[in-house]
Structure 1
Amino acid sequence: MTEETNKNGPDAAAHEAEVSATTEGQVADESEASAEQLLDPVEALQAENADLRDRFLRLAAEMDNLRRRTDREIKDAKSYAVTGFARDMLSVSDNLRRAIETLPDEARAAADATWTALIEGVEMTERGMLATLERHGVRKIEAEGQKFDPNFHQAMFEVPNPNVANNTVVQVVQAGYAIGERVLRPAMVGVAKGGPKTETAAEDATKV
């Protein structure tokens, strides 16, 4: 019995050592798995935090753009809300001006006090209307003597005039008006033809 125990002794010891090593390995694996489980939530939270931060920055940028766009639209609405009304009032002003210009200077000179008062009243009405429109951002486009600009002028005819630079506005048939940065009505003009070249035209010709 003792001999059998002695014979089996080394094998039993080796088996116990193997079992012990296996147990330690399992414990180590379990410890490593536990550590990974602890790290994964942290990484997940970090990723979620980064995603939320990105969404917040995008939302903040969109809100800022919306605010700027809204402010611009409100400003434009205030500036151009009277566009249609102003255009209609310009037609009334044109009629007042035509009525005034219908009377020749001789008729004015010969008019009695009643007609003189009437003419002055019409002129005052026209000036008051234009002053009111100006307070609301409507301004007259100064055209005569300026270089023709299709953005602000509408050419009605050409006037041969060698004493004036070519494409210079020499006559205004109907005054033009602008509201804010927009043209409410272009000025109808006559432009010079055949005069000396403007500086811009001369420079362009030199470059060619």
Structure 2
Amino acid sequence: MSEDNKTPEDQPADVTPETEAAADTAGEAGADPVEALQAENAELKDRSLRAIAEMENLRRRTEKEIKDARQYAVSSFARDMLTVSDNLRRALEALPEDDRKNADAGIASLIEGVEMIERDFLNQMEKNGVRKLDPEGQKFDPNFHQAMFEVPNTEVPNNTVVQVVQAGYVIGDRVLRPAMVGVSKGGPKDGAQAASASGQTVDKSA
């Protein structure tokens, strides 16, 4: 029987015009099925690695957001509680030093009790991530300090904190309340200022 006279029953069951056309195209292009599979495998691997990287970044972001939420959730409450610390400090500073030295046993015990309460209060705040700033003697930093006035002083570098009017606090790495300070004026320039004025650069890589 000739090819033209074959009946549909004589044709292979899995051969269709579409598969024949695809086979002809592959044959004409000279495509290697192994190379095609390798390329597809490489693409799938790349997609898988990208998906894994995206999931890892999402996990890290989520962990950071949870950590920040836990750490800074008490910010509003802690800021309100700073008034307690301020009042304890004012109560201690209201009594002159001479009166404290000459106080009778009852007053001395009261002063000691207030000091213990203040220390315990600050310790409890620090356990929750709130730390008191003690900037006196440090260089003025606008990120953590608020300058209230200048103090003429030729013995310390310019912009040195020489007086703390109100204590500042930070929670984690964020400012809860800046320290209100007085800064020096008229003193020598520090190393960075002197180098900048002379056109030199300061190496901060060490």
Which residue does 1:196 correspond to in 2? 188
**Structure-to-structure mapping, 1:1-208, within 5 angstroms:** 33=21, 35-36=23-24, 46=37, 52-207=44-199
Query: Deviations for 1:17-62, whole angstroms, at most 9, x for unmatched residues?
Result: xxx9x99xxxxxx99747338889x69x958766655543443232
Which residue does 1:16 correspond to in 2? none
User: Residues 34, 128 of structure 1: CA spacing in aligned structure 2 closer, same or farther, 3 A cutoff?
Assistant: closer
Query: Deviations for 1:174-207, whole angstroms, at most 9, x for unmatched residues?
Result: 1112121111211111000011111111011011
TM-score normalized by structure 1? Answer: 0.74
TM-score normalized by structure 2? Answer: 0.74
- Aligned to 1:151, the other structure's residue is in SS state coil
Deviation at 1:102, TM superposition (A): 0.8
Query: Deviations for 1:78-137, whole angstroms, at most 9, x for unmatched residues?
Result: 322222222222211011100111111233234332222222111110010001111222
The one-letter code matched in structure 2 to 1:139 is R
- Aligned to 1:150, the other structure's residue is in SS state coil
Of 48-57 and 179-188, the range deviating more from structure 2:
48-57
User: Residues 103, 53 of structure 1: CA spacing in aligned structure 2 closer, same or farther, 3 A cutoff?
Assistant: same
Alpha-carbon distance in 1 for matches of 2:155, 2:42:
73
In proportion to residue count, which structure has more helix?
1
Q: CA RMSD in A?
A: 3.4
Alpha-carbon distance in 2 for matches of 1:34, 1:153:
75
The percent identity for this pair of structures is 64
Which blocks of at least 5 consecutive residues in structure 2 are unaligned?
A: 6-16, 201-206
The one-letter code matched in structure 2 to 1:166 is N
User: Residues 33, 87 of structure 1: CA spacing in aligned structure 2 closer, same or farther, 3 A cutoff?
Assistant: closer
Alpha-carbon distance in 1 for matches of 2:22, 2:171:
73
Alpha-carbon distance in 2 for matches of 1:126, 1:34:
85
Pick the structure with greater CA Rg.
Answer: 1
Deviation at 1:142, TM superposition (A): 2.8
